Structure 1
Amino acid sequence: MPDSEKTSTAPISEHAIIVNPDDNVAVVKDQTHVGLELGLPSGDVVRLSADVPPGHRFAIREIAAGEFVRQYGQPIGTSLGIAKGEWIDHRNMTDDVPVVRDLPDTLSTPAPDYFDPDDVETFLGFRRADGRVGTRNFILIVPTSMCASHEATQISMMSEFMDHSRERFPNVDGVVAIPHNKGCGCQDGSTLDVMMRTLSNYADHPNVGGVVLIDLGCEKTNLSFVEKYLTKRERPIMKPVYKIGIQEAGGTQEAIELGLKYVRQMLPEVNKCVREPFPVSELVLGVKCGSSDGFSGISANPSLGFCSDLLVRSGGTVLLTEVPEFCGAEHILANRAKDAATGRRIYEMVDWYKDYASKFGAVLNQNPSTGNKAGGLLNITIKSLGAIAKAGTTRIEDCIEYAETPRCRGINLMQGPGYDQESTPGLVASGATVVVFTTGNGTTIGNAITPVIKLASNNRVFERMSRDIDISAGNVIVGTESIEEVGRRLFEHVRQVASGEIQAKAEILKHREFQFWAEQTVSL
């Protein structure tokens, strides 16, 4: 090679990332241009034949037609004939990948390497009467149907404006409502089951110190229906619970006034609960991703995964959901299961979701959004391989239904959609006391009762949306921080937010999104 060519060749690490040694592609870190020559670790040189944008990938060698295109060491598609240095997209790659369902009957994954109890970090939380520990202390207004959602919202807004202040009630985080559009005009069965499980688990959540239930009176899920459901729960709700019927009270204004009265009565009592030190093993961490890009699975998700490992090794609990985003990577999760029976349940979760989606004429590969694809996530397999990194590397302990309370600590997989506005509340209903939400293109989501910490995959979006996003993993892409360093920094941020030392950006901006999943429509 002439000397002039040698001096114009940059190390590939300056412009792109080879995620796994078995990969035949590299992911671009910043905007590249036609003719850019990059030196590979082998000493070979690749010359780009296109302007490849950030988060997208190019071939680091020729990939013959019919050969698998590989990232994360796994197939992400099938080549239609890709030249070395060529930008990879749907013009030269199909989404076809092998369906892998291998699982040894003798599977027995070792338990995590737990930290010595004396070395486990602590946080400041609220101990509840049932023994669980919360990270926040809210009064929650729960409408039993859409017919009471307006009144519930008005009670919470007016109470926060007129009655609650941190000066008077320093241990109360606020008065919040969870308005929704369900509860009447819907079929019996799973829709009602999911709704009741979600609403009751919100009322029973350790981040909630007192509850007001409000109905219209004649709806399917009125107070009488809710009370019968609550009597069947294994765990009673051990906190103040007040009830309001709008029709019985005399109408909207009367119901709101009654709700304000009940909140005023509860505030002094709820304020008596104070923060105390507890080991981080008492935390339940929900892990989520949304508006992801091609960097999410390289920086933010594995950094969150390292944080998840630290919590699990401390004796804590981590909840992973978004089952459509297991598709194409479910074999990796299944082989991390504690035993073969749990591994088979992971396959069953994915198969159930495929069947559910097919009833509406949908397929799971429709999950990636326009923003995902623009950021380099061309198909569900690429997205899934990066998404599952949020759950770290420890074994999968159990699988639970949407909004179901986990039966054990460690990593639990929750059935549910990828759709952020439904999956995040599902994690909280399952008991998440903190949520970490990774994003590549930027998102603003929060939750009514649980802090949602946003972790950016790249520094550009973090700088652009610094009032919405809490922390960045972008230095992993730049090369100035490792996944482990960002993971430890994130773990400390989670501990501080859980302790109330700092608020998540979504809390500051009053993002209190709530909706729950209903099987009567398909969510991906």
Structure 2
Amino acid sequence: MNHKFLQIHPDDNVLVALTDLEAGNIVNFKGNDILLKNQITAKHKFAISPIAQGNYVYMYGSIVGKAVSDIDAGEVLTTTNVHHEANSFSEKTETTGWISPDISRFANRTFNGFHRKDGQVGTANYWIVIPLVFCENRNVEVIKDAFVEELGFSKPNPFKSLVQQMASLYKSGNKAAISSLQVEEVLAENEQRIFKNIDGIKFLTHQGGCGGIRQDSDTLCALLAGYINNPNVAGATVLSLGCQNAQPAILQEKINQINPHLEKPVILLEQQKEGTEQHLLSQAIKQTFLAMAEVDQEERKPAPLSKLTIGLECGGSDGFSGISANPAVGHVSDLLVALGGKTILSEFPELCGVEQELINRCVNHDIAKRFSKLMVAYAASAEAVGSGFDMNPSPGNIKDGLITDAMKSSGAAKKGGNSPVVDVLDYGEYVTKPGLNLLCTPGNDVESTTAMAGSGANIILFTTGLGTPTGNPVTPVIKVSSNTKLAERMPDIIDVDTGGIISGEKTIPEMGEEMLEFIIQVASGKVKTKAQKLGQDDFIPWKRGVSL
């Protein structure tokens, strides 16, 4: 790899700057000198040869934009001279071949997980408390306040000490000393846990369950059923008000669709039947405590890597994400698929322009048609409210070189590696087939990670180039940086740095294998992710309908 710039695919008509390049400098590409017309900031793209107005911009061998004005050789691509344009797609036209990677290093490896009676294996062991409707959020918070500290699941808060020090200085009249106070980093786990084999009790509050349309409640119940069935969950306490749209019967129906023989403890209490809040909360707390005491008897035992289900996510992406972190994660996906495991690629707005490639990777025409149908419907729903996939890149994406959705999507899709697509799932559906699965979710980071855990992911790989403080209540989220500067600037949220790919120190397969080694440590409970240490328990269900 040239350490100043990169052509990702032989058909591309742009180069990616790997370092800052000064205007007026000349770079040589394949024997041709290119005079740089602008300052090219690292991660941004510049033209190899002139691109006339109306012609396409190619990256990853695909159309990622259209020139809206003439672009000279050596000129930087911006939102003013390039607009979104993407490849069209149709039905499955071919079957894409796949050469599986060498898995000899991992063929007989195991992780220590929690074995569930249905054959799933958890990488963690959580109890969850779920409201069926937002009216119960306050009661859930009361349970949280009663349980977390007393059971030893609370995390030290250094900022309380900071406020105490500031208050003391203020009272003494020494306000000038406040600015010099330092906050000590505290990420240590509380070692006074009552239940040694339970990793925590998590509280999944939300704003749904009533109002909106009936489909919203059905979708919410499907998501919550997936969380109850997730192998990282030992059991659940569910609070219902009684009169809401998201009825317990709907939740039970959704559980039965996923796992008709669920053998986990599920405590369901309805406030309008129980009477007073005091009685409801007393019952919820007592029953939950006794049930947790039972599931605390479960211990970690060896399991093959085929029992891993890994979600593949990106957020706060930059111009390096598609050439370092995402392809490395894609190699992990290919390794796990070859080992018999499951992976989940989501964020459908960030698959714009690569649909045909994914369609051709589908194992049969029915699965390909389902993907196409979901993509068309999703795009139409966005356009119906005056938006579109072309509006997906965020200001941060654009600032760091991802100026069109197709450009962003072409890099984001690399998280899915090269293996065949074995299934396509709509939001709220549960993964069952070994191999690469596509899951319809928004591009929003938390809505997407929330959905993948609800579809059975027991580990999530999350790539970022800008830095995103995102986690999940029940599924460990491993944060992967696309560049070393980010890893050094935000070490509190980054677990794995793939910047060595950009510098040329490591190859994508080497980085992928290192990442899988780290996954095994996390899955075995030997290493806590930064998101777990920081208590990043983000949970946002996707509301697809209008509000009535």
Tell me, yes or no, whether TM beats 0.5: yes
Is the aligned partner of 1:312 residue 2:337? yes
How many Å apart are 1:273 and its aligned residue?
A: 0.7
Match for residue 182 of structure 1 among 190, 196, 208: 208
Question: Counterpart amino acid of 2:21?
Answer: T
Specify the alignment match of 2:125 in structure 1. 137
Contact 1:291–1:442 (CA under 8 A) maintained in structure 2? yes
**1:266-301 residue CA offsets vs partner (Å, 9 max, x unmatched):** 222111111011111000000011111111111110
How many Å apart are 1:28 and its aligned residue?
A: 1.4
Specify the alignment match of 1:4 in structure 2. none
Specify the alignment match of 1:146 in structure 2. 134
Q: Aligned pair in 2 of structure 1 residues 244, 262: CA closer, same or farther (>3 Å)?
A: same
How many Å apart are 1:511 and its aligned residue?
A: 0.7
Structure 2 CA distance, aligned partners of 1:396 and 1:131? 23
Contact 1:230–1:236 (CA under 8 A) maintained in structure 2? no
**1:448-498 residue CA offsets vs partner (Å, 9 max, x unmatched):** 100011101111111111101111111111221111111111111111111
Q: Aligned pair in 2 of structure 1 residues 279, 231: CA closer, same or farther (>3 Å)?
A: closer
Contact 1:398–1:412 (CA under 8 A) maintained in structure 2? yes
Q: Which moved more, 1:342-351 or 1:301-310?
A: 342-351
Is the aligned partner of 1:46 residue 2:3? no
Contact 1:15–1:30 (CA under 8 A) maintained in structure 2? yes
Q: Aligned pair in 2 of structure 1 residues 99, 154: CA closer, same or farther (>3 Å)?
A: same
Structure 2 CA distance, aligned partners of 1:164 and 1:212? 19
Match for residue 13 of structure 2 among 24, 29, 36: 24
Contact 1:123–1:498 (CA under 8 A) maintained in structure 2? yes
Contact 2:221–2:250 (CA under 8 A) maintained in structure 1? no
Is the aligned partner of 1:303 residue 2:292? no
Match for residue 73 of structure 1 among 54, 61, 74: 61
Secondary structure in structure 2 of the residue aligned to 1:484: helix
How many Å apart are 1:109 and its aligned residue?
A: 4.8
Q: Aligned pair in 2 of structure 1 residues 514, 466: CA closer, same or farther (>3 Å)?
A: same
Specify the alignment match of 1:88 in structure 2. 77
Q: Aligned pair in 2 of structure 1 residues 339, 230: CA closer, same or farther (>3 Å)?
A: closer
Q: Aligned pair in 2 of structure 1 residues 232, 24: CA closer, same or farther (>3 Å)?
A: closer
Contact 2:222–2:251 (CA under 8 A) maintained in structure 1? no
Contact 1:286–1:436 (CA under 8 A) maintained in structure 2? yes
How many Å apart are 1:406 and its aligned residue?
A: 2.1
Specify the alignment match of 2:470 in structure 1. 445
Structure 2 CA distance, aligned partners of 1:456 and 1:117? 24
Is the aligned partner of 1:214 residue 2:270? no
Specify the alignment match of 2:385 in structure 1. 360
Q: Which runs of 5+ in 2 are unaligned?
A: 154-190
Q: Which runs of 5+ in 1 are unaligned?
A: 1-11
Is the aligned partner of 1:158 residue 2:184? no
Structure 2 CA distance, aligned partners of 1:468 and 1:181? 27
Q: Aligned pair in 2 of structure 1 residues 487, 232: CA closer, same or farther (>3 Å)?
A: closer
Question: Counterpart amino acid of 1:134?
Answer: G
**1:36-58 residue CA offsets vs partner (Å, 9 max, x unmatched):** 22222x22222211112221101
Structure 2 CA distance, aligned partners of 1:351 and 1:186? 24
Aligned length: 508
Secondary structure in structure 1 of the residue aligned to 2:372: helix
Structure 2 CA distance, aligned partners of 1:178 and 1:483? 36
Contact 1:183–1:221 (CA under 8 A) maintained in structure 2? yes
Secondary structure in structure 1 of the residue aligned to 2:461: strand
Structure 1's consecutive aligned runs of 4 or more residues displaced over 6 angstroms after TM superposition are none
Structure 2 CA distance, aligned partners of 1:108 and 1:457? 28
Is the aligned partner of 1:386 residue 2:386? no
**1:204-253 residue CA offsets vs partner (Å, 9 max, x unmatched):** 22111121111223322244554465456552331112222334444444
Q: Aligned pair in 2 of structure 1 residues 118, 416: CA closer, same or farther (>3 Å)?
A: closer
Is the aligned partner of 1:472 residue 2:460? no
Match for residue 350 of structure 1 among 375, 389, 410: 375
Q: If the length of structure 1 is used for normalisation, what is the TM-score?
A: 0.92
Percent identity (aligned): 34
Q: Aligned pair in 2 of structure 1 residues 121, 298: CA closer, same or farther (>3 Å)?
A: same
Contact 2:427–2:451 (CA under 8 A) maintained in structure 1? yes
Contact 1:145–1:215 (CA under 8 A) maintained in structure 2? yes
Is the aligned partner of 1:332 residue 2:332? no
Question: Counterpart amino acid of 1:101?
Answer: S
Specify the alignment match of 1:3 in structure 2. none
Match for residue 420 of structure 2 among 385, 392, 395: 395
Q: If the length of structure 2 is used for normalisation, what is the TM-score?
A: 0.88
Q: Aligned pair in 2 of structure 1 residues 231, 501: CA closer, same or farther (>3 Å)?
A: closer
Structure 2 CA distance, aligned partners of 1:406 and 1:322? 16
Specify the alignment match of 1:492 in structure 2. 517
**1:117-171 residue CA offsets vs partner (Å, 9 max, x unmatched):** 9824211110011111111101110111111122123313431211246543221
Structure 2 CA distance, aligned partners of 1:27 and 1:252? 60
Specify the alignment match of 1:64 in structure 2. 52
**1:55-106 residue CA offsets vs partner (Å, 9 max, x unmatched):** 11011222233332211122212233211111111332232344243632x6
Structure 1 CA distance, aligned partners of 2:70 and 2:226? 52
With CA pairs under 8 Å and 6+ residues apart, which has the higher RCO, 1 or 2? 2
Structure 2 CA distance, aligned partners of 1:402 and 1:324? 13
Contact 1:164–1:175 (CA under 8 A) maintained in structure 2? no
Specify the alignment match of 1:170 in structure 2. 196
Q: Aligned pair in 2 of structure 1 residues 292, 429: CA closer, same or farther (>3 Å)?
A: same
How many Å apart are 1:113 and its aligned residue?
A: 6.7
Specify the alignment match of 1:8 in structure 2. none
Match for residue 37 of structure 1 among 13, 16, 26: 26
Q: Aligned pair in 2 of structure 1 residues 98, 204: CA closer, same or farther (>3 Å)?
A: closer
Question: Counterpart amino acid of 2:200?
Answer: G
Secondary structure in structure 2 of the residue aligned to 1:506: helix
Specify the alignment match of 2:218 in structure 1. 193
Contact 1:163–1:264 (CA under 8 A) maintained in structure 2? no
